Amino acid sequence: MERLIGKKAPWFSMEALAADGEHFTRVSLSDYAGKWLVLFFYPMDFTFVCPTELTAFSDRLEDFQKAGAQLLSVSTDSVYTHLAWQRNGLGKLGYPMAADQTLRVCDSYGVLLEEEGVALRGLFLIDPEQKVRYSVIHDNNIGRNPEEVLRVLAALQTGGLCAAGWEAGEENLHPQVPQQLPVSQKARDAMVRIYTMPTCSYCRSVKEFLRQTGVDYEEFDLSHDKAGQAFMKLRGYTGLPVTVIDGEEIVGYDMPRIKAALGLDGRDEVK
């Protein structure tokens, strides 16, 4: 299969046992727009390794929520089997259990064991732009560690370079780069606004680029800024960041357009 990392996450829409463990619902990729999603597949209900994983993730649910991430588990069992398992041994998890009975979602994420009709243990971190930023798929005999998933999630959210063994709170790597990139006259004179969220790694990357180029900007933190929230609602924007350069509104991590709007794409003379 073709790579998923860096690309839009494959679409899904599935029946699911809701987070309360009592009701059935439907979950789709669009439900998680603007949020981090930990999407993890497991082979089968009423087995041996799977409950250790599902409950381990449930035990760290609050930590994932603090990190701005939501959990969604998927197997090829039915929602009725999920319900029976929670009522007869597994217990409530606090996050949805989706049912991929058509096998299409497992197949689109490259985790389907066709000969058995079950999923491999595949885990995917999907960012607020709904791009796949991390994936791991391995043998079904081995359970996964939520601690490592939280570590990788925190690393991705820094938007920087993280060394092997990096832990949350540690410094990123800082390669030797020029203190400031060349600036065009157009960039010096530009009026720039940027609408961001604290958990958005793309937002941090764009701000870092603007700082390196010496471009002044006004930031709207959408987690609390009412004017910024009203702007996003009025425009119907969901992608982040939104960078406004001299009235041109650029949605998402579109560095070519940002550079062009600032005259930093080679077309304007740098002075």
- Asked if residues 240 and 202 have their Cβ atoms less than 8 Å apart, the reply is yes
Q: Does residue 50 carry a catalytic annotation?
A: yes
3-state secondary structure of 13: strand
For residues 194-225, one letter each, b for 16 or more C-beta atoms within 10 angstroms of the residue's C-beta and e for the rest, the string is bbbbebbbbbbebbebbeebebebebbebeee
Which string of DSSP letters, residue by residue, matches 40-82?
A: EE-S-SS-SHHHHHHHHHHHTHHHHHHTTEEEEEEESS-HHHH
Q: Which of 50, 106, 162, 203 is catalytic?
A: 50
3-state secondary structure of 243: strand
Residues belonging to the active site: 50
